[in-house]
Structure 1
């Protein structure tokens, strides 16, 4: 199981939100590139980047910070937030992003996901963010009637590299991930599922790994707060 340290970008800073609320942002590092390099030096295999402003704006906003991270590090990075057309997908892949995450587009423009996955095999992930089993879009600001499992199954044959499943109510709350819902989703689809939201301790990581069906986990606040030591966590998962 791969552990993805998260760098959420707001106004050029590395921040963490509480349950997806932009007004509940804590700045942890004003130099996201330095933060990314620190994660790489601790031994991570991947980075998880989110353009929070972009998710609300519907277009990239923290591009300069993302590019600085790409210049400072050599590990692959996945990026989500405000990516809603082929031109933006192509631009980020050309700049060196290893995997683009499509969230709102997966609900509103599923054909884009299919086209992108065909055009860029292995480089497109679907971000499914949910409250109580229902998918939320546009930076989690809008809730839909789309159920998580239904959305995942809709991309079964699309060639999507991964599904990143976030339980919004757990995100940034340090209360542990929704292991049951994540495992159920992983069992319901053949697409690898990455857990996000609330991963805050070594026990959380071990519990996710022990399901035997979850491909990865994303952690942010716990790494910044020191509740989770990245080196120790990577060693435990190795």
Structure 2
């Protein structure tokens, strides 16, 4: 199982939000590149980056911070937030981004998801963010009628192989991930799933790892790393099969 340290960018700074609310941002670092380097030095094999401003604006707003991260590390980096066209994807790939994550576009522009899948294959993921089971888009500001499972099945038909699933109610609360919904989504969709939102302890990571048999292949960890509730080397050892 892969542990993805999360770097959420707001105005060039590394922050964490509570349930996706921009007015709840806590700044943890003003050095995105240094933060990424720190996670790499502690053993991270993949970095997860979200352009929060981009998610709300509908186009990337933190290119310079993303560039700093890419220059600071050698491990692969996946980026989401405000990616709504092929030109933006091409720009990010040319900068050195390994994978891009489409969010609102999966609802607003399914034809883009299909074309991106044809062009870039496994380099394109879809982020499915759910509030009480329903999909949230536009920086989590709008909830639509479609369920997470309905959207997962639709993007699979479009050629997507892997999704990032976030339960918004758990995000930033250190209350534990929604294991039931995550496992069910993986089993019922047949997609590879990266769990996101709420990881607060090594016990949570152990619980997510138990879902590997269902198709859950990783966990994104944010606030718990920044507060010290979870130590990255310990999380990585557990994810590799330790106890």
| Aligned equivalent of 1:133 | 133
Tell me, in whole angstroms, the C-alpha distance in 1 between the residues paired with 2:158 and 2:56.
26
Match of 1:231 among 226, 230, 233: 233
Cα drift, residue 155 of structure 1 = 1.8
Aligned residues: 238
CA contact (8 A) 1:123 1:161 kept: no
| Aligned equivalent of 1:39 | 39
Cα drift, residue 194 of structure 1 = 0.5
| Aligned equivalent of 2:143 | 143
1:103-149 alpha-carbon deviations (Å, 9 max, x no partner)? 00001111101100110111000000010100000100011101100
User: Is 1:197 aligned to 2:197, yes or no?
Assistant: yes
1:13-69 alpha-carbon deviations (Å, 9 max, x no partner)? 000000100000000011011000000011111000000000000011000000010
| Aligned equivalent of 2:104 | 104
Alignment of 1:2-41 (within 5 A): 2-41=2-41
Tell me, in whole angstroms, the C-alpha distance in 1 between the residues paired with 2:170 and 2:114.
29
Tell me, in whole angstroms, the C-alpha distance in 2 between the residues paired with 1:62 and 1:40.
21
Alignment of 1:39-188 (within 5 A): 39-188=39-188
Tell me, in whole angstroms, the C-alpha distance in 2 between the residues paired with 1:35 and 1:162.
26
1:159-183 alpha-carbon deviations (Å, 9 max, x no partner)? 3241000000000001000000000
Cα drift, residue 156 of structure 1 = 1.8
Cα drift, residue 158 of structure 1 = 2.8
Tell me, in whole angstroms, the C-alpha distance in 2 between the residues paired with 1:19 and 1:78.
21
Aligned-residue Cα RMSD (Å) equals 0.7
Cα drift, residue 216 of structure 1 = 0.7
CA contact (8 A) 1:168 1:197 kept: yes
TM-score by length of 1: 0.98
Tell me, in whole angstroms, the C-alpha distance in 2 between the residues paired with 1:47 and 1:117.
21
1:91-110 alpha-carbon deviations (Å, 9 max, x no partner)? 10111111000000001111
Question: 5+ residue gaps in structure 1?
Answer: none
Cα drift, residue 188 of structure 1 = 0.9
